[in-house]
Amino acid sequence: MQRETTTTKTPMDNTDRLHRGKKEKSSSPKEFVLQKCPGLIRERPAGVFSFPVFASDFCEKLLEEGKHFERSGMPIGRPNTMNDNGLLLFDLGFYETFLDVLLAKHVAPVSKALYGDLDPYEVCDDDSEIGCESKRRNYKNAPGASSLAHHRSFLVRYEPGTSCGPKDVDLAYHRDDSEITLNVNLGGAFEGGDLLFGGLSTDTATNAHTSLNPVFHKPTVGVLHRGSQVRP
């Protein structure tokens, strides 16, 4: 294993600005983040955020570590029931010194700022019971977004082909078994591969799951969304 893989700094190392921002006046943490990071965080469609996560050289090293592990002959734990072409980063020993830290110091604070005000399980810090009740009724809530503590992290690879072959070429329309999902493009030469987002799994609007919003997946960039945001 390359030692640098778990120590390389990333664009998300500036997340401490979010902690300092709590001392400033703002109508909401989400608005503060978007104001302080103009051009860095993009929200499109609503509730889906894109921003730089890793440096390109780090992505290359991480991909190489994955390929090296596949060539090693070690048992490979598959990511989930929908993907066969990938591996769990736990098997590479990346949790304690890398991914646990990434979650605690970067992903969790960002998720709390962007989704926490819609978390029905968040403890209200004011005397407004009306405000609390409003959060619980909001159908676009993000349960658990303000208290992320666990993760299941993996690499997956999609290749050109047909759905009847052994390769992963696409996914069925689904929601994730998570409060929040961070999907990072580690790079590679390819065409297509856009992420398509429908509504939340709780959406009952007529066009919620017939009109899909594409998000072009750029290398080094992460796409953050609710686990309940349905997509193929």
Confidence of residue 168 (pLDDT cuts 50, 70, 90): low
Q: What is the pTM of this model?
A: 0.79
Residue 128 has pLDDT above 80, yes or no: no
Give per-residue pLDDT as tens, 141-161.
677 888 899 999 999 887 766
Structure tokens at 42: 């993009």
Residue with tokens 């998300």: 12
Question: Mind giving me the DSSP string for 156-220?
Answer: E---SS-TTSSS-----SB--SSSEEEEE----S-S---EEE--BTT--STTTTTSPEEE---TT
Domain boundaries, the chain: 12-226
Q: Do the beta carbons of residue 220 and residue 59 sit within 8 Å?
A: yes
Query: What value does the mean pLDDT take over residues 100-118?
Result: 90
Portion of the chain with pLDDT greater than 90, in percent: 36
b/e 107-136 (16+ beta carbons within 10 angstroms → b): bbbbbbbbbbbbbbebeeeeeeeeeeeebe
Q: Do the beta carbons of residue 94 and residue 121 sit within 8 Å?
A: no
Q: Do the beta carbons of residue 198 and residue 212 sit within 8 Å?
A: yes
Residue 135 is predicted with a pLDDT of 47
Structure tokens at 74: 């070690």
Q: Do the beta carbons of residue 187 and residue 53 sit within 8 Å?
A: no
Give per-residue pLDDT as tens, 10-63.
556 655 555 555 545 546 888 888 888 888 999 999 899 999 999 999 999 999
Distance CA 124, CA 121 (A): 9
